[in-house]
Amino acid sequence: MLNFLLGAVAGALMAAVATVAALRNPDVQVRMGIVRPEPVVVQTRRPDPVCPPAAPVQAQAGSPQVGQPEMLFARRRFWSVAP
């Protein structure tokens, strides 16, 4: 008799846990009518952003352009290095 009672309690507990876990699922909630389904919203495509025109770069007199070897090995870059 005690085995039956313990088995029934364990089965009821497992069924309760499974039911609660299932009811927390939004799809199950909609199927059971607990909540209303959300209306389908069609996303509109946003227009591509327009990049502002690049400002003209004013280079200092005598400064090498970006990507040139003189930029790496310029003497004023190594002003703190002792000869």
Residue 4 lies in a domain: yes
Q: How far apart are CA 83 and CA 66, in angstroms?
A: 26
| Domain with 18 in it | 1-72
Structure tokens belonging to residue 39? 């209306």
Domain count, the chain: 1
pLDDT value for 8: 97
Q: How far apart are CA 78 and CA 70, in angstroms?
A: 12
User: Which amino acid is residue 2, in one-letter code?
Assistant: L
Burial of 29 (0-12, 13-18, 19+ CB in 10 A): middle
d(CA 35, CA 23): 11
Answer whether residue 79 is part of any domain: no
- State the pLDDT at residue 14: 97
Q: Per-residue confidence of the chain (83 residues) as pLDDT tens digits? A: 999 999 999 999 999 999 999 889 988 888 888 888 888 888 888 888 888 887 776 655 566 567 676 777 766 666 655 55
Domain assignment present for 29 = yes
> 49 lies in a domain?
yes
Question: How much is the pLDDT for 41?
Answer: 83
